[in-house]
């Protein structure tokens, strides 16, 4: 039986805010930066976890992982059909790990880490995927942090991202847009995560606003 869980806590080790544009009120310099102390949020990054048993006596962890990803996780991730491959762990003892990848219909590559929890059961966790809930919480945090920096109200709805679910590349960054509601001008917003640590979450959250409107 496959058990789906989504309750892995995320730690935000550091938030750095970089921006280079001027809102109408109040005025601000062209570029400022800040580093804020760590805080704890309820963002659920790296929460796409599945547990499964090996298929049959002496079954293959790799084959079972592929089935789990292409059937159960594909439906949960909601990016369409997934084409998965997994390597075999060195052994089937508890604590042995293996990796998997799955290609989406758009060509993005989702990465997974599998861990044997016994000699015939394992867990698989995504290692470069932000769910829709994750992205929503990142937008809310971006609005809060930027509001404090420029002393003007920004709300999460001022930030728009091209997709609800984000597959991170090797940079750990993705691009959204932020609207200056006083002028209607739209700026690029580069959001960095510092990568994701399995079982922990986002390593470092950064926001960088473009110097010129789009």
pLDDT digits (tens, 9 = 90+) for 8-62: 222 222 334 443 333 333 322 222 222 332 222 323 333 455 555 554 445 688 9
On whether both 149 and 189 belong to a single domain, the answer is: yes
- Report the helix count and the strand count for the chain, using DSSP H and E: 3, 18
Q: Which residues pair with 34 in a beta bridge?
A: 17
What is the average pLDDT score of the chain? 76
**Residue that finishes a domain, picked among 126, 159, 188:** 126
How many domains in the chain?
2
Q: Are strands 121-126 and 109-116 parallel, antiparallel or unpaired?
A: antiparallel
On whether both 89 and 136 belong to a single domain, the answer is: no
Phi then psi for residue 63, to 5 deg, are -65, -40
On whether both 149 and 177 belong to a single domain, the answer is: yes
> Does residue 3 fall inside a structural domain?
no
- Which H/E stretch holds residue 33? strand 32-36
Q: How far is CA 110 from CA 81, 117, 130, 164, 169, in A?
A: 12, 22, 10, 15, 9
**pTM score:** 0.72
On whether both 116 and 172 belong to a single domain, the answer is: no
On whether both 135 and 202 belong to a single domain, the answer is: yes
Q: What percent of the chain has pLDDT over 70?
A: 72
CA–CA dist 77, 4 (Å, integer): 12
On whether both 32 and 138 belong to a single domain, the answer is: yes
104-129 pLDDT, tens per residue? Answer: 999 999 999 999 988 888 888 899 99
**Which structural domain, as residue segments, surrounds residue 160?**
9-43+131-209
pLDDT in the model for residue 84:
97
Are 74 and 57 spatial neighbours (Cβ–Cβ below 8 Å)? Answer: no
């Amino acid at each position: 039986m496959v058990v789906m869980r989504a309750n892995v806590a995320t730690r935000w080790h550091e938030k750095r805010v970089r921006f280079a544009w001027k809102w109408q009120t109040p005025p601000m310099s062209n570029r400022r930066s800040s580093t804020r102390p760590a805080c704890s949020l309820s963002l659920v990054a790296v929460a796409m976890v599945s547990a499964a048993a090996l298929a049959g006596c002496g079954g293959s962890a790799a084959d079972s992982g592929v089935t789990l990803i292409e059937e159960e996780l594909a439906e949960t991730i909601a990016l369409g059909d997934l084409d998965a491959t997994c390597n075999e762990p060195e052994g089937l003892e508890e604590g042995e790990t293996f990796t998997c990848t799955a290609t989406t219909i758009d060509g993005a590559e989702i990465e997974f880490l599998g861990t044997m929890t016994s000699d015939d059961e394992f867990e698989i966790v995504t290692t470069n995927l932000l769910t829709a809930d994750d992205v929503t919480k990142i937008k809310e945090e971006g609005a809060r942090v930027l509001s404090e920096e420029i002393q003007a109200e920004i709300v999460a709805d001022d930030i728009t991202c091209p997709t609800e679910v984000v597959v991170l590349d090797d940079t750990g960054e993705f691009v959204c847009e932020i609207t200056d509601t006083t002028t209607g001008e739209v700026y690029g917003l580069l959001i960095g995560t510092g990568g994701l640590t399995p079982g922990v979450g986002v390593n470092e959250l950064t926001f960088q606003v473009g110097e010129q409107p789009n």
